[in-house]
Structure 1
Amino acid sequence: MNILYEDQEVLVAEKPVGMESQSAKSFEPDMVSEIKKHINKVSPNSGEPYVGVIHRLDKPVGGVMVYAKTKNSAESLSKQVSGHQMEKIYHAVVCGKPVENSGTYVDYLWKDGKNNCSKIVEKGIKGAKPAELDFRVVDKTQQNGEEYSLLEIKLKTGRHHQIRVQMAGHGTPLWGDQKYNPSFQQKKIRADIALFATSLSFVHPVTKKKMTYTVKPKGQMFDLFSL
């Protein structure tokens, strides 16, 4: 866990690929337990640390996250999320190329909790929620006769598996996505999904200063591009 910033109110860290962003039922490490260990190590006599989960990243996705260290900060940051004031930028490698070099996708997603997946559905479907993102093609390349595009994606809403579902639904599924990319659903090989949360901006709950943290996307497919 790479800590990018910390004070009495917030902690910004880079979540590793393959780690849960909140407390997990398994015995594997998760971000909340790792942050609590860190706080206990730095301040061993402060009692049980408070770690507020503000937003989430899928287990196979790494990148920048912010956690609250007080309830007041958690409330402030959560309001920024619900008010779409927290800016989240991702990089992704998709199979193929979008029709346009930049654009906006607006869809309605329905979460299938039983199978842990989401689907693009019609607006009137019960439980369907609007999902919106902006994208732009940063670069493209070919490998073994296949075309791949590097996208910068700005999330406007935060739905379950949103980027993965919308990109697949619009004909450019993410490389390595065994849940939504048909090319990888039959493969037994382990492949890190080519999606990374590269930048996060928010207003500090106390100082009211805008804070932005950026990390370089990591993963085997990102190495094909100059970043």
Structure 2
Amino acid sequence: MKLDILYEDKYLIACIKPCGVPAQGDKTNDLDMVSLVRDHIFDNNDSDEEPYVAVIHRLDKPVGGIMLFAKDKDTAAKLSDMLQDNEIVKYYQAVITGELPDDFGTFEDYLLTDSKTGTTRVVPKGTKGAKIAKLSYELLDEFETDDGPLSYVLVELLTGRHHQIRCQMASHGAPIWGDQRYNPAFSKAKDQAKKGKNMKGGSGHAPGKKGRNASDKAGIGLYFSRMEFDHPVTNEHIVLKAEPEGKAFQAIELEEDFD
């Protein structure tokens, strides 16, 4: 698979992670972004040493969009500090199946991740191990489809927690399209598909839920589409943009730009 590179210099590289491709190597042994970036750097360098590649931020496997990597430890440390200090602006585009309370808003919750199940939930403030999570959103458009109403939303991620956007949006009644972990409509379809596979001659498709059993490769309705930051070495102001891909975004008419 060829890398779709948005920006590259001797300090860092930004590229597109397709839906369904893991950010790093996992138990599936699928081709991952770190390996792709490392191979790209190796093929374009004169050195025979294995290149240094640091992941600055992660994207869930079914989420596509911009990924940023550092090529040396000093740049990695600077970018990580910038991320912690909210000096890197992060915008996602989302397709949701619920309704938002307002056209504009901010969600502030406390999230707790279950290490055994890999899922995150909203918990009361003061819960042991919980971390504060913040995001802001803007409703861009609404659509009627055969499967029901959809909303097209721009999300600014203000903190970076595990499954943050997916968990927070679902907890506020606006789950992400195709999300089998946090959207009840899709998780039900997933369960039905599993039952179908266990039945003799079962196809594995959920009856009456065509298009609702989204796979990792098809992606969910969430895409990291814009990133802004000042280069940690050159101080150049960098703006990275990516057009959303995946089944959810094919069902709606995308806005032209978000400047």
> Taking structure 1 as the reference length, what is the TM-score of the superposition?
0.96
Residue 85 of structure 2 corresponds to: 83
1:223 to 250, 254, 259: 250
Whole-angstrom distance in 1 between the partners of 2:147 and 2:79: 45
Which secondary structure state, in structure 1, belongs to the residue aligned with residue 108 of structure 2? strand
> Are 1:193 and 2:217 counterparts?
no
Displaced runs of 4+ in structure 1, greater than 4 A? none
Listed one character per residue, the Cα deviations across residues 57-85 of structure 1 (whole Å, up to 9, x for unaligned) are 00110101110001110011000111011
Question: Residue 51 of structure 1 contacts residue 69 of structure 1 at CA under 8 Å; is this kept in 2?
Answer: yes
Whole-angstrom distance in 1 between the partners of 2:187 and 2:13: 36
Q: Report the structure, 1 or 2, having the larger strand content.
A: 1
Question: Residue 139 of structure 1 contacts residue 225 of structure 1 at CA under 8 Å; is this kept in 2?
Answer: no
Listed one character per residue, the Cα deviations across residues 81-133 of structure 1 (whole Å, up to 9, x for unaligned) are 11011111000100132120010000000011110000000001000000000
Residue 206 of structure 2 corresponds to: none
Question: Residue 89 of structure 2 contacts residue 228 of structure 2 at CA under 8 Å; is this kept in 1?
Answer: yes
Whole-angstrom distance in 1 between the partners of 2:11 and 2:60: 24
Question: Residue 220 of structure 2 contacts residue 247 of structure 2 at CA under 8 Å; is this kept in 1?
Answer: no
TM-superposed deviation, 1:210: 1.5
Whole-angstrom distance in 2 between the partners of 1:73 and 1:223: 37
Residue 113 of structure 1 corresponds to: 115
Q: % of aligned pairs identical?
A: 42
Whole-angstrom distance in 1 between the partners of 2:83 and 2:130: 19
> Are 1:208 and 2:235 counterparts?
yes
Once the two structures are superposed, the pairs formed by residues 25-174 of structure 1 within 5 Å of their partners are: 25-144=27-146, 146-174=148-176
Question: Residue 65 of structure 1 contacts residue 200 of structure 1 at CA under 8 Å; is this kept in 2?
Answer: no
TM-superposed deviation, 1:46: 4.5
TM-superposed deviation, 1:26: 3.4
Whole-angstrom distance in 2 between the partners of 1:100 and 1:117: 27
Whole-angstrom distance in 1 between the partners of 2:146 and 2:239: 37
Question: Residue 178 of structure 2 contacts residue 248 of structure 2 at CA under 8 Å; is this kept in 1?
Answer: no
Question: Residue 214 of structure 2 contacts residue 220 of structure 2 at CA under 8 Å; is this kept in 1?
Answer: no
Aligned residue pair count: 227
> Taking structure 2 as the reference length, what is the TM-score of the superposition?
0.85
Structure 1 counterpart of 2:177, which letter?
W
Whole-angstrom distance in 2 between the partners of 1:11 and 1:46: 20
Whole-angstrom distance in 1 between the partners of 2:83 and 2:249: 28
Which secondary structure state, in structure 2, belongs to the residue aligned with residue 141 of structure 1? strand
Structure 1 counterpart of 2:108, which letter?
V
Segments of 5+ residues of structure 2 without an aligned counterpart are 194-212, 255-259
Whole-angstrom distance in 1 between the partners of 2:46 and 2:242: 30
Greater Rg over alpha carbons, structure: 2
Residue 200 of structure 2 corresponds to: none
Structure 1 counterpart of 2:14, which letter?
V
Structure 1 counterpart of 2:233, which letter?
V
